[in-house]
Amino acid sequence: MTRGTTNPNRLRRCDRWIAGPQAWRLRRSPGPPVVVDLGYGASPTTAVELHDRLSAVRPDVQVVGIEIDPARVAAGKPLERDGLSFRLGGFEVPLDGGARPTVVRAFNVLRQYAEDEVPAAWALVQERLAPDGLLVDGTCDEIGRRAAWVAVDATGPLSLTLSLRMGGLERPSDVAERLPKSLIHRNVPGEPVHEFLADLDRAWARHAPHSSWGARQRFLATAAEVRESWPLLDGPSRWRLGELTVAWSAVAPAGR
């Protein structure tokens, strides 16, 4: 258990990705999709926000906040409403009737764990996922300006997404200290994720002249250049938001 900082709107960048490029997972669910906010923290705000945002995609979505800390579950209970509930638990994802979650978002949870504990936590969730289900294991700063997350389905990790507030961004690798636990210790020379961030920084520096049209134009040019040598899975409509997703196979720890 930790202090559990949970600032309102902190996870908006990840919510936007789940409600955007990942919305098909919710839409395809034959019954009401279950989405879990795992380790929602001292305040249930992020679960409430997730429910608000995903209801626009699937009005029947069932968001369940799961916490290991009973006091935090008690804090969530008064906010329960149709489609939003809170319960005690962890990565085993306990749900009524053995329901299988379409999305499990665990933000700023595994960062407190050791790197070698991550695969077991992922595996527990992977076993529970619905057929189109996804685990989103991510990290961000206190107010959600810089975020990074790994998407994992039943077969294994699929992608790494970086999402950055472009105003005031010095360089894309500013996100390095917010990498998920599976990558944060790998941001060293010789590791693919380090090369990826270095290439992003080089392209960002080269496209400095685009700044006169705004940071967004600079980010778009940076991503377009990086796509020449890295398998980016998205395009300009996401890059415009300061978001960029790369195939996990390209940035996975060396030797894995």
Question: Least distance (Å) from ligand SAM to the CB of residue 22?
Answer: 18
- For ligand SAM, the binding residue among 108, 126, 159, 161 (CB under 6 A) is 108
**CB-based burial of residue 3 (10 Å sphere; 0-12 exposed, 13-18 middle, 19+ buried)?**
exposed
CA-nearest of 97, 107, 11 to 62 is: 97
- For ligand SAM, the binding residue among 21, 33, 40, 161 (CB under 6 A) is 40
Contact between 109 and ligand SAM per CB under 6 A:
yes
Q: What residues contact 75, with CB distance under 8 A and at least 6 apart?
A: 42, 43, 44
Contact between 9 and ligand SAM per CB under 6 A:
no
- What is the side-by-side order of every strand in the sheet holding 103-107? 84-88, 62-67, 34-38, 103-107, 134-140, 146-153, 156-164, 243-247
Contact between 38 and ligand SAM per CB under 6 A:
yes
Question: Least distance (Å) from ligand SAM to the CB of residue 2?
Answer: 5
Quote the CA–CA distance of 239 and 162 in Å, as a whole number. 10
Question: Least distance (Å) from ligand SAM to the CB of residue 39?
Answer: 3
* Antiparallel, parallel or unpaired: β 103-107 and 84-88: unpaired
Quote the CA–CA distance of 174 and 178 in Å, as a whole number. 8
Nearer to ligand SAM (CB atom), residue 67 or residue 174: 67
- For ligand SAM, the binding residue among 17, 91, 204, 239 (CB under 6 A) is 91
Nearer to ligand SAM (CB atom), residue 2 or residue 237: 2
Of 19-27, 32-40, 154-162, 193-201: span binding ligand SAM (CB under 6 A): 32-40
- For ligand SAM, the binding residue among 2, 9, 237, 249 (CB under 6 A) is 2
Tell me the CA distances in angstroms from 247 to 15, 74, 230, one per residue in order: 20, 39, 8
Q: What residues contact 118, with CB distance under 8 A and at least 6 apart?
A: 110, 137, 181, 182
Contact between 69 and ligand SAM per CB under 6 A:
yes
Contact between 39 and ligand SAM per CB under 6 A:
yes
Contact between 90 and ligand SAM per CB under 6 A:
yes
Of 2-10, 156-164, 192-200, 204-212: span binding ligand SAM (CB under 6 A): 2-10
Q: Which two tokens stand for residue 72?
A: 């935090």
Nearer to ligand SAM (CB atom), residue 64 or residue 166: 64
Nearer to ligand SAM (CB atom), residue 57 or residue 140: 140
- Please give the span between the terminal C-alpha atoms of the chain, in angstroms, as a whole number: 30
Contact between 128 and ligand SAM per CB under 6 A:
no
Vertex 245: Cα angle to 240 and 246 (nearest 5): 140
Question: Least distance (Å) from ligand SAM to the CB of residue 171?
Answer: 24
Length of the chain: 256
Q: List residues near ligand SAM by CB under 6 A.
A: 1-2, 4-6, 10-11, 38-41, 46, 66-69, 72, 90-91, 107-109
